[in-house]
């Protein structure tokens, strides 16, 4: 069995995530405390106690989801004796999850990843306020059909999540127009999402510009496990190239379908989702029907996973 370790993005957060890990394992406590110290804020209190509205603010959700994912990873390594290099052929993450993947692969420290994601979240929130936008999920159309729809409507493909599930991004007007066109073309659903900006679109250019200098100055090492980039949908091991791709990712499309297909083509037969929720686990079968997927996000699921390694 050949595995890849993958990390969820925004939308997977829930109040209370990781609390059982925090209570059970010193390695998990260390991660949450390191994030709190890096941000000079008790983010762990928001994670464990809420309120949900505060946790969901993008500048909180991004480092919070990374903290949850890295708590899982550190328990794997330090408490259960699982070698990431010996167990996983690749790491990858959806949008902000790519930062979690880089942290897991040793390219960034937990503290530096938390600081980067806080800056990224703040920059994206500011860009969303200055250039208001929307996002919508289009279910049941092919990627070619969705590309035609967004071209006609004047918006953009944000996330290619799985076969038949694509998220689009743009101004409120263009996204609503795209939803109308998509529905007329036979989409099963065309649903505007409750988000605060047009993420992964050119409306985020100011956030990308703000993050470029921050990313270039970040103390990133070459990852010890290849990281599959959202933008290239191929494995990357060079820190300088990864920084460029992270810059492009803010305005570019998350090519998750192609990323999973790439890993499968390289021999991966099982994805292990480390962190909150089961979104990526649920998408896997829609992308590659014979690929296995398991979510690891609690004391119980971690202990069950450790028996399979």
Catalytic residue list: 95, 200
Is the distance from CB of 290 to CB of 271 less than 8 angstroms? no
Integer Cα distance of 237 and 245 in angstroms? 12
The answer to whether 52 and 85 are in contact (CB under 8 A) is no
Spatial strand order of the sheet with 134-139 comes to 156-162, 165-170, 134-139, 189-192
Task: Measure the CA–CA gap between 155 and 157, rounded to whole angstroms.
Answer: 7
270 DSSP β-pair partners? 3, 292
The rounded Cα 308 to chain-centroid distance in angstroms is 25
Sheet holding 3-7, edge to edge: 235-236, 227-228, 88-93, 3-7, 270-274, 292-296
Asked if 181 and 152 touch (Cβ cutoff 8 Å), the reply is: yes
| β-pair partners for 172 | none
């Amino acid at each position: 069995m050949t595995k890849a370790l993958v990390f969820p993005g925004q939308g997977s957060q829930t109040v209370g995530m990781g609390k059982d890990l925090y209570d059970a394992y010193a390695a998990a406590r260390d991660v949450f405390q390191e994030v709190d110290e890096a941000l000079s804020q008790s983010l762990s209190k928001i994670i464990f106690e809420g309120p949900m509205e505060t946790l969901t603010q993008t500048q909180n959700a991004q480092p919070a989801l990374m903290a949850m994912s890295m708590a899982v990873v550190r328990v794997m390594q330090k408490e259960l004796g699982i070698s990431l290099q010996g167990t996983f052929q690749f790491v990858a993450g959806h949008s902000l999850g790519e930062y979690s993947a880089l942290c897991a692969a040793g390219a960034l420290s937990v503290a530096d990843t938390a600081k980067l994601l806080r800056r990224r979240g703040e920059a994206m929130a500011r860009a969303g306020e200055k250039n208001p936008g929307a996002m919508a999920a289009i279910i049941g159309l092919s990627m070619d059909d969705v590309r035609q729809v967004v071209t006609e409507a004047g918006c953009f493909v944000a996330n290619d999540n799985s076969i038949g599930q694509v998220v689009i991004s743009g101004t409120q007007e263009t996204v609503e127009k795209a939803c109308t066109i998509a529905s007329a073309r036979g989409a099963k659903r065309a649903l505007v999402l409750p988000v605060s900006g047009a993420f992964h679109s050119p409306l985020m250019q100011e956030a990308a510009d703000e993050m470029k200098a921050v990313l270039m100055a970040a103390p990133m090492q070459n990852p010890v496990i290849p990281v599959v980039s959202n933008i290239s949908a191929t494995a990357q091991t060079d820190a300088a190239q990864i920084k460029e791709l992270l810059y492009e990712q803010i305005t570019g499309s998350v090519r998750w379908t192609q990323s999973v297909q790439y890993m499968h083509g390289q021999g991966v037969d099982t994805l292990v989702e480390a962190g909150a929720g089961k979104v990526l686990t649920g998408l896997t079968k829609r992308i590659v029907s014979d690929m296995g997927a398991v979510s690891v996000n609690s004391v119980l699921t971690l202990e069950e996973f450790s028996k399979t390694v």
